[in-house]
Structure 1
């Protein structure tokens, strides 16, 4: 029997979720001989590694102390996108006048309890893919409990000892909590507990203007919360291009989010009625009274309790396990995959790192993580998606760049959809059509970026994209228009004069 885990609220959907991903009646199997692969952590990286290796015939053990499915299923991608979908729906309804639909504001409202119940229902349904019994049926020995290394070749879980030829650390990360005076004395929210809310906070402070902070700030503002987003930099989404972040900033402001930049939260406290924040910015002190505080200030790796020193695995407390380009740790028989060792903390990156680990750990593979072309997307509305190099990164590498931009206000489908805020931007190596990177701001940028990712993966340039016939009208046609822009640069004055002479001669 495993330790009982409880999620709030304790309703039928959360009970169903736990029954699948950490069943209370689970009995760990008895280890039998040496495993080809022992994996600690059953998030995306661990699950993909376990399923793939077992499918190839390897003897695999998978250890998880919490909920199988990890951050993505339980407290990340799945629940956040469920409530983002609801927030987009109410925003669309209340802003449909330009589409010819008249609707009084009181005719549509948000039932927050129903929104969250829908999320819990869908999360429980999806969890079947990550369930303990499914992986047991795949031939994986699933151990629920706390695992740690005894030495370079052995892992202990409870009273059981697992011997391995190779091991994978896939323990992921958790929210980083900044050292704000008073933070330990208040009840604050992170992505790990915000999806347990059953009442909409009237006033919400969000500390951190990265992807999680921006997504949830916009979502709760659209639900009706008064949201203040506090960012230490001069812009939100500081990793992204300024022009892309500016579009999101403008939309957040239209949604009612109050933005405070270059800000430092110097003190937080709590009384029976509310939470109080003291914010220093531009020489001013702001006193903010809210009902809830959401910490969205980055991630920190789950390295505690693993006894990595015993296994000869080196790590940094703030960035995680140290790996080489083959995802080997400083113990060559132990690998890392996913958020525990990567600066790209995305589910899809963890997935493909896991695939790489299978080949490198079980076979004579020498696949390099640096060769993965990894796109990402921030699911605000509009979305920001990116792949490859930013322009400043290319220039820092000494690569000359040409940049092509197609604004969505000149793309017919975007005009018809009333979704003209955004653009497609593609960087190529100067004088060639070789794609170095791209940024897309659009309602469904996450879907559009895959076409450019495929082009980069297959080494197809802008000339090839220009020749791809897109259905009309689609927003993806913006990508073809970028290809057309490139082709027009090939029509030099000399070539144009030759063509004119040819056409004149053939009239």
Structure 2
């Protein structure tokens, strides 16, 4: 009888750090904490690696790579190489995406983290008290708890949608059959990246966006991207409201409204990409005294919740929903929980983001509109340089794009918008410049290898000095000095 009673009692684990969620942020906290000597428990109810590895960043970029490979065959004629229409094997495309995920998965696996000394529990977690979490029959009591449960696709309450088959980013990468006409609901980064990938892989694509497509980005840069996407045959309808959807004998019918006109769009498949919602269901946050705001966990500048022993990081806290921000958050938590750096807090002044279309669009710091709103006209400067003036871009026939830099009146970097080939790679020095408020002279004086796309950064920074260097005053000084030389 005593043995049966003990069996029924939940197992108890006392630990230093308990992390709920094995996505990017949770894995970073667990790996760092354990390797630095803290007893660490990691809980995950789904796939290790979370959304980024399994449904987001990794598979989407793999699918885009397949699309780029197909487009390269179509575009090769401009290099004197005979262009062909590529043959797309969708089953092999899906296998390519799965192979990429599988190659990265060991880095995020249970085995790796157990090898690092982390206790990994697989199951759904729920709070049972301010410092306690339960998973199945196991109760974990921790000095600190980190909620890193991420986010999931938001499904809008559109009439007919519940009776209509549709993809989200969690299901579309399992597709292994040709798509005739993909209707994409959402003109943000996810929607447009998937639109481009599927268009290049042979599908007809229509995008429906209620507001402005790429509405969070610099309008001038966004317009360049949208023009290119339309040029490849993607039908983009922004400022258009989706009124209803229905399943038809041949696929999907979407009813939309734009400027008072009602129209229908017929397609074979539907993708919902209108945003994300924080994953908090089932956590019983109220039992730990944790507050939420519009579905996301409320945190302060130190990522602490209303319960000072509980942190929330990544998508579940709202705000910037990027994998790199979850990793950044993890570092803030590690410094506070392990090293008592209570002053460590988030700084959003240099948060970068990239839309991986073709051309890519990257942003950090203030946009031109931000600068005008916050600083007012005359209190900032815009520096720019076009890819058409870059020799490497000319050689590769990738001249669409520009860098636009925002500085204060003293030439210190406040923001940068980059649109063009490899913009996501080229944005890095500008992240440092914005974060450290570097002056343009520090960037302009760098030696950039020739010919590289990175010269656009040096040229844009150097343009800060053009008005003074080539002014009439400078010419007079130089002429005067030259007279003294025999």
**TM beyond 0.5:** yes
**1:78 equivalent in structure 2:** 58
Please tell me whether residue 92 in structure 1 is matched to residue 72 in structure 2.
Answer: yes
**2:180 equivalent in structure 1:** 202
Please tell me whether residue 305 in structure 1 is matched to residue 279 in structure 2.
Answer: no
**1:387 equivalent in structure 2:** 364
**2:269 equivalent in structure 1:** 292
Equivalent residue for 2:328, pick from 352, 361, 377: 352
**1:226 equivalent in structure 2:** 204
How many Å apart are 1:371 and its aligned residue?
Answer: 5.4
How many Å apart are 1:455 and its aligned residue?
Answer: 2.5
Equivalent residue for 1:412, pick from 364, 379, 391: 391
Distance 1:285 1:395 in 2: 37
Please tell me whether residue 401 in structure 1 is matched to residue 359 in structure 2.
Answer: no
**Unaligned regions of 5+ residues in structure 1, if any?**
1-29
**Unaligned regions of 5+ residues in structure 2, if any?**
1-9
**1:158 equivalent in structure 2:** 136
Q: Give CA-to-partner distance per residue, 1:146-188, whole Å, 9 cap, x none.
A: 0010010110111110001111010000011111111111111
Map residues 52-451 of structure 1 onto 2, 5 A cutoff: 52-105=32-85, 108-233=86-211, 235-318=212-295, 320-365=296-341, 366-370=343-347, 373-398=350-375, 400-430=379-409, 432-451=410-429
How many Å apart are 1:268 and its aligned residue?
Answer: 0.7
SS state of the match for residue 347, structure 2?
Answer: helix
Give the CA RMSD over aligned residues: 1.5
Query: With structure 1 as the length reference, what TM-score do the two structures score?
Result: 0.91
How many Å apart are 1:264 and its aligned residue?
Answer: 0.8
Equivalent residue for 1:48, pick from 28, 32, 35: 28
Distance 1:33 1:292 in 2: 48
The 1:71/1:133 distance shift into structure 2, 3 A limit, reads same
How many Å apart are 1:32 and its aligned residue?
Answer: 6.0
Contact 2:414 2:437 in 1 (8 A): no
Contact 2:58 2:101 in 1 (8 A): yes
SS state of the match for residue 91, structure 1?
Answer: helix
Contact 1:36 1:362 in 2 (8 A): no
SS state of the match for residue 98, structure 2?
Answer: helix
SS state of the match for residue 370, structure 1?
Answer: coil
Distance 1:42 1:373 in 2: 26
Contact 1:149 1:311 in 2 (8 A): yes
How many Å apart are 1:33 and its aligned residue?
Answer: 4.6
Query: With structure 2 as the length reference, what TM-score do the two structures score?
Result: 0.95
How many Å apart are 1:215 and its aligned residue?
Answer: 0.3
Paired positions, count:
473
How many Å apart are 1:31 and its aligned residue?
Answer: 6.1
Distance 1:278 1:258 in 2: 15
Distance 1:348 1:147 in 2: 24
